Amino acid sequence: MTPHSSRRELLQLLSVATLTLPMTHAWAQLRPNKNPFGLGVASGSPSSSSVVLWTRLYDEGFFGTNLPNENIPLKWEISTDKEFKAIVQQGQSLAVAGLAHSVHTEVSNLAPNTWFYYRFLIGPYTSEVGKTRTFAEPTSNGQKTLKFAFASCQHFEHGYFNAYTHLVQESPDLVLFLGDYIYEYAPGRSGIRLHSGSWCLSLSDYRKRYEQYKLEPELQQAHAACPWIFTWDDHEVQNDYAGLSSGSFGPFTNFAKRRANAYQAYYEHMPLKSSFLVEGLEGLSSGSELRLYENYQFGKLANITMLDTRQYRDKQACNPNSQDGSATVSLSSCEQLEDASRTLLGEKQEAWLEHQFKNSTAQTWNIIGQSTLFGARVYATAEGKKVWNDGWDGYPVARKKLTQQLVNHQVSNPVILGGDVHEYWVGYLKEDYSNSQSKVLGVEFCGTSITSNDGKNTASRQRANPHFIYAEGLRRGYCIVELSEESMTVHLRAVKDITTRSTEIETLAVFRVSNGSKTIERLQVGSA
């Protein structure tokens, strides 16, 4: 099969998978041997009038799936009440065999700023009920508050996803997931539990890894509680990969093929619009086959811009012996760091982002979600100052380009959110991080991991980087953000123990930023 024909085939699968078919009784005539909704339900890509509803039929046997290698019809319903007495829309979609029997139902013409319940049906089986919502219309002043969580880095082997039990209890309007939804590693020698299978290389490998994660009840509950918006980082493919350059750890393989497998499996398991994949189908080696960067507007209150910092980047600078992956490099000897041609976001995404900033004046808060720590984090060592070259510190010219865009377009209340480093960091966005007297542009909040358990003590690093006012690297959890017209309040939430299914949670710190102030006020420390 040529790349051209495989691309055509994938486009055809996508068009079928997202199509709402005329209602028939075909879905009711099927009789699966057991409930095929074991991977749960999810929703995402919300707008003021639409949302994507997701599920994937699942019936795993000893030698693979027991589902037939054919497209399977199922029914979906969306209602304003949990009992489905007030169904506003219903339809029939196909679980497409070529996309792992996943469904991405794009429901449109919904009322704005409204909560809904949804479910899927096939034969005698009904999925669990999910809860989702539409956003307030971009020109509306009607919604005065928005409460959302952001999280990242859920390594299955390092612990249980018990943080999500507490996240659900906080009743957020939205979850922003900022990368490392799965980890691609083979089973480790130590940990709370083990990955199934081996290294993720083939499409089947990645699908099975998503199955293992999706079967976690706490993660299913969090997906069913509200819509999610996504970006990814490296472990959805390979540790510290960069664009079309392979990362580190694991067997050598055809990386372009491996990445294509990983990207398809990611799409199959996330509530993403089909346009995210179709718009990027330029061939698997072009670097743009799954576009995740997107803008979401919640009334006049919030503009949420999600970035992709992994797919379009240049290879990391100054790696010893030109090795793949990341390294800690010297600021004084790595001239490549100042190469103006190097990019983290890619030229197309950079131009798109500038367009978003030009049109960001209508919303009070401008939230930028991306996968890693943004502000400079310099390591003071006996050999001199060093930086980790996989984050924004490894692409300082690209970072300066973004901060200059914030200045040029006078973006109001910019807030950058990140993950990846498995540590909490709270600080100020600076126009130029190399100048301690540089102008403050906004604020940054980087969250810890859900389970990935290799954060470190942060005290010395925080002292060396005074634009950060708080850092904590030994706890796991998530962040809750409460937006109003007057202020933004951020709660750093941490679980007591990731080694058990059930655990307590506490608030490590609470910070508030007033509209227009660019000053972070610490409100609370300790349990809550």
pLDDT in tens, 243-271: 999 999 999 999 999 999 999 999 999 99
Q: What is the rounded distance in angstroms from the CA atom of residue 406 to the CA atom of residue 132?
A: 32
Determine the pLDDT at residue 527. Answer: 43
CA 514 to chain CA mean position, Å: 27
What residue type is 99 in one-letter code?
L
Helix pair 203-214, 217-225: axis angle to 10 deg: 80
- Spatial separation of the C-alpha atoms in residues 65 and 60, rounded to whole Å: 4
**CA dist., res. 420 & res. 258, Å (int):** 22
What tokens were used for 106? 């794009």
Q: What share of the chain has pLDDT > 70, as a percent? A: 92
Return the structure tokens found at 193.
Answer: 């539990």
The 3-state DSSP class for residue 288 equals coil
Residue 26 lies in a domain: no
pLDDT, residue 11, reads 61
> pLDDT tens, 222-245?
999 999 999 999 999 999 999 999
SS3 content of the chain, % helix, strand, coil (to 5): 20, 30, 50
Please check the confidence at residue 284 and state whether its pLDDT lies above 60: no
- Residue-wise pLDDT tens digits, 91-146: 999 998 989 999 999 999 999 999 999 999 999 999 999 999 999 999 988 788 99
- pLDDT confidence of residue 60: 85
* Residue 25 within a domain: no
pLDDT at 1 over 80: no
What percentage of the chain has pLDDT greater than the value 90?
80
Reference 98, options 8, 210, 187, 219; nearest CA is: 8
Is 482's pLDDT higher than 60? yes
pLDDT at 523: 96
pLDDT in the model for residue 4: 47
Specify the pLDDT at position 326. Answer: 96
Task: Return the minimum-mean-pLDDT range out of 21-25, 43-47, 131-135, 170-174.
Answer: 21-25
The CA–CA distances, whole Å, from 387 to 235, 310, 316, 332 equal: 21, 18, 12, 10
Token pair of 159 as six digits = 């612990």
Confidence class of residue 454 from pLDDT cuts 50, 70 and 90?
confident
The candidate with the shortest Cα–Cα distance to 376, out of 366, 385, 367, is 385
- Give the span between the Cα atoms of 284 and 261, in whole angstroms: 10
Give residue 451's pLDDT. Answer: 98
Flag whether pLDDT at 16 surpasses 70: no
Does residue 13 fall inside a structural domain?
no
Looking at the domain assignment, is residue 194 inside a domain?
A: yes
Distance CA 239, CA 324 (A): 10
pLDDT tens digits along 175-209: 999 999 999 999 998 889 999 999 999 999 999 99
| 32 within a domain of the structure (yes/no) | no
Backbone angles phi and psi of 381, in degrees to 5:
-125, 170
Alpha carbon of 30 to those of 160, 390, 503: distances in Å?
35, 49, 41
Q: Which domain holds residue 172?
A: 135-525
Domain membership of residue 234 (yes or no) is yes
3-state secondary structure 110-172: CCCCCEEEEEEEECCEECCCEEEECCCCCCCCCCCEEEEEEECCCCHHHCCCCHHHHHHHCCC
Angle at 320 between CA 317 and CA 324, to 5 degrees: 70
Burial class (CB in 10 A: 0-12, 13-18, 19+), 34: exposed
Question: Residue 285: its pLDDT value, please?
Answer: 37
Q: CB atoms < 10 A from the CB of 398, how many?
A: 19
Q: Given pLDDT bands bounded at 50, 70 and 90, which one contains residue 438?
A: very high
Span 373-387, pLDDT tens digits: 999 999 989 899 999
Beta-bridge mates of residue 470: 426
* Mean pLDDT score of the chain: 92
Instruction: Please give the pLDDT value at position 39.
Output: 98
- Which CATH number is 287's domain given? 3.60.21.70
What is the spatial distance between Cα 156 and Cα 83, in angstroms, rounded to a whole number? 34
Total domains in the fold of the chain: 1
Residues contacting 433, CB < 8 A, separation 6+: 375, 376, 396, 399, 467
Please check whether residue 251 lies inside any domain of the structure: yes
Q: Which two tokens stand for residue 311?
A: 């797919």
Q: How confident is the model at residue 68 (pLDDT cuts 50, 70, 90)?
A: confident
pTM: 0.95
Q: Which residue has the higher pLDDT, 279 or 159?
A: 159
435 contacts: CB under 8 Å, gap ≥ 6: none
Give residue-wise pLDDT tens across range 318-363: 999 989 999 999 999 999 999 999 999 999 999 999 999 998 888 9
Q: Give residue 525's pLDDT.
A: 62
Q: At 97, is the secondary structure helix, strand, or coil?
A: helix
Question: Could you give the CA distance from residue 280 to residue 266 in angstroms, rounded to a whole number?
Answer: 14
- Specify the pLDDT at position 33: 85
**Does residue 291 lie in a domain region?**
yes
Rounded Cα distance, 46 and 34, in Å: 31
